[in-house]
Amino acid sequence: MSEAAAQAPPLVAGRAPDSFVAPATLDELRDLVAERDGRTLVPVGGGTQLALGNAPREPFALVDVRPALAGEIEHEPADLTAVVPAGVMLGELDAQLSAAGQRLPLDPPHVEQATIGGVLAVGTGGPLRTRHGLPRDFVLGMTVLRADGELVKAGGRVVKNVTGYDLMRLWCGSLGTIGIVTSVAVRVLPRVGTIDLRFEAASLAVGQALAETFLRADLRPELLELTRQDGGWGGIVRLAEGAVPKATEVAGTDLTPCGDEEYLAARDLGFGDGDALTLRAACATSAIASAVAAVEALAPSGVLVRPLAREVRATWEAGALPEAEEVAGAAGRMRTALAEAGGGLVAERLPAELRGALDPWGHSPNLARMAAVKAAFDPDGRLNASRFVGGL
Partner 1 sequence: MTPPELLKAMREVVGGEHVLHKPEDLLVYELDGTIDRSLPEAVVFPATTAEVQGIVRACNALNVPVTPRGAGTGLSGGAVPAKQGVVLATARMRRILDVDPVERTATVEPGVPNIQLSEAAAEHGLFYAPDPSSQKACTIGGNVAENAGGPHCLALGVTTNHVIGMEVVTASGEVEWLGSRGPEPLGYDLRGLFIGSEGTLGIATKVVVRLLPVPETVVTLLAIFDDVESASETVSAVIGAGLVPAALEMMDRVTLQAAEAGLRCGYPPDAGAVLLVELDGIEEVVRGQVTQARAACNEHGATEIRTATEPAERELLWKGRKGAIGALGRIAPNYYLLDGVVPRSRLVETMGDVARIAEGYGFPVANVFHAGDGNLHPCLLFDEREEGATARVLEAGGEIMRVCVDAGGALTGEHGVGYEKHRFMPWLYSEADLENMRRVRGVFGNAGAFNPCKVLPEGTGCGEMAHQKGALAAAGPDAYV
Toward partner 1, which CB reaches closer, 155 or 302? 155
Binding segment for partner 1 (CB under 8 A), chosen from 88-96, 189-197, 260-268, 348-356, is 189-197
| Count of residues engaged in binding partner 1, rule: CB under 8 A | 81
x/- contact string, 25-64, with partner 1 (CB under 8 A)?
Answer: ----------------------------------------
| Residue 146 binding partner 1, by CB under 8 A | yes
| 327-331, long-range: CB < 8 A, 24+ apart | 327/277, 327/298, 327/354, 327/357, 327/358, 328/354, 328/357, 328/358, 330/294, 330/295, 330/297, 330/298, 331/279, 331/358, 331/362
Q: Is the CB of 77 or the CB of 351 nearer to partner 1? A: 77
Between strands 60-64 and 19-21, the pairing is parallel
What string marks each residue from 57 to 76 as x (binds partner 1 by CB under 8 A) or -? -------------------x
Q: In whole angstroms, what is the distance from residue 77 CA to residue 100 CA?
A: 7
Write down the least CB distance from residue 325 to partner 1, Å. 23
Measured CA to CA, the distance from residue 116 to residue 119 in angstroms comes to 5
Do 63 and 43 contact (CB within 8 A), yes or no?
Answer: yes
Q: Which helix (H) or strand (E) segment is 96 a member of?
A: helix 90-99
Report the DSSP beta bridge partners of residue 75.
82
Residues 317-376 binding partner 1 (CB under 8 A) are 338, 341-344, 346, 361-362, 364-367, 369-370, 372-373, 376
248 part of the interface to partner 1, by CB under 8 A? no
Work out which of 48, 81, 182, 386 binds partner 1, going by CB under 8 A.
81
Return the residue of 134, 180, 236, 334 that touches partner 1, per CB under 8 A: 134
Identified binder of partner 1 from the candidate list 152, 265, 328, 337, rule CB under 8 A: 152
Residue 252 φ/ψ, nearest 5 degrees: 70, 15
Residue from 2, 285, 290, 336 that binds partner 1 (CB under 8 A)? Answer: 285
391 binds partner 1 (CB under 8 A): no
Query: In Å, what is the CA distance from 335 to each residue of 78, 338, 343, 349?
Result: 45, 5, 8, 17
